[in-house]
Amino acid sequence: MSARARRLPLLALAAALLAGCAAQAPIAREDGSGGLHVDCRGRATDAPTVILESGAFGSAADWDLVLDDLAKGGRACAYDRGGIGRSPPRPGGRDVKAIAAELKRLLDQIGEQGPVILVGHSNGALYVETFAALWPERVAGLAYVNGVNSDALDHPDLIHDLTVERRWAAVAALGGDVGLSGQVSDMLAGVSGFEGRAAARKRQDMAGRDSLRVARDEDFAVIDGLQTARDLGGSPPGIPTAVISGSTDPQAPLSKSWAAAEAAPALRARRRLIVEVPNATHTSPLLGDRRYLETAVDWLRQAARPQP
């Protein structure tokens, strides 16, 4: 495992594949009725709606606790990307532009015509960065949570880290291909730290072979997507930007590289908030450290109000 604890549990997955377990039938999943599956909570207010974008091998279930927190201050929504969890397959490719376009269709689907606050966790940060570069007029604020963004291109050790991550993604999809998708989804929920309703939903969302393949293909497209986002100009500096990052080993060279890349979009923004979460794991800002994310979103909601 890297110091960032970013990647999938390769050794455990490999052990499961070698165990010779009997093939398991995928858990049944509910598809959306023509549109993406979306979980919206809270009442619409004069504050922008918050849209939550999950990371690799993630779904709306990753945001279960965060949604309840953010719903106190307005509308907040998380969704399953096309082909994952309860959403129907995505038409077209799985590159970052295709995912950004899918997010744009989601906003239309749920009636969000005004600017929204986009929150991206891990690889999800790359998708919201790409969206903001393509349609800045539809973004009131950005929050990157332990986020992968185009500034990773300036750090060869991060590109190597992401390259290794692709191998882990391939192993996860292979588990689904050989009939172990149920075990893979159990492992994904377990190592992420989710419990209760969120863990049950995540197990269900990732328990199908097709979901694991889509998640693998998305992960394979990330490194090329970094260059795509950079060529588009990255997130515009005029959009208020919050960054939340942290590590269990902040002095490790790899952790320092991630911290520098993660902070860069906020440092370019004219209005910024950078929060370092002490002793954070990769997913703890979605779990026990949620107060930092709630504070960042509250700041973005205030920043989106008309300035005197």
Confidence of residue 55 (pLDDT cuts 50, 70, 90): very high
Confidence of residue 190 (pLDDT cuts 50, 70, 90): confident
Mean pLDDT, the chain, rounded, equals 89
CA end-to-end distance (rounded Å), the chain: 48
**What would the mean pLDDT of 84-112 be, rounded to a whole number?**
93
Give the start-to-end residue ranges of the domains of the chain: 10-303
**What would the mean pLDDT of 121-147 be, rounded to a whole number?**
98
Contact between 245 and 146 under an 8 Å Cβ cutoff? The reply is yes
Tens of pLDDT, residues 260-289? 999 999 999 999 999 999 999 999 999 999
pLDDT of 166 higher than 50 = yes
pLDDT of residue 289: 97
How many whole angstroms separate alpha carbon 210 and alpha carbon 191? 21
How many whole angstroms separate alpha carbon 92 and alpha carbon 247? 36
pLDDT of residue 32: 38
77: helix, strand or coil? strand
pLDDT of 86 higher than 70 = yes
pLDDT of residue 3: 42
pLDDT of residue 308: 58
CA dihedral 50, 51, 56, 57 (to 10 degrees): 110
pLDDT of residue 101: 96
The whole-model pTM stands at 0.90
pLDDT of residue 90: 87
Confidence of residue 307 (pLDDT cuts 50, 70, 90): low
How many whole angstroms separate alpha carbon 264 and alpha carbon 259? 9
How many whole angstroms separate alpha carbon 183 and alpha carbon 188? 9
pLDDT of 12 higher than 90 = no
Query: What percentage of the chain carries pLDDT values higher than 70?
Result: 88
How many whole angstroms separate alpha carbon 1 and alpha carbon 200? 25
**What would the mean pLDDT of 27-32 be, rounded to a whole number?**
32
CATH topology of domain 10-303: Rossmann fold (3.40.50)
CA distance to 3, 188, 230, 262, 307, per residue, from 300 (Å): 29, 31, 24, 17, 13
Residue with structure tokens 């750090």? 155
Confidence of residue 31 (pLDDT cuts 50, 70, 90): very low
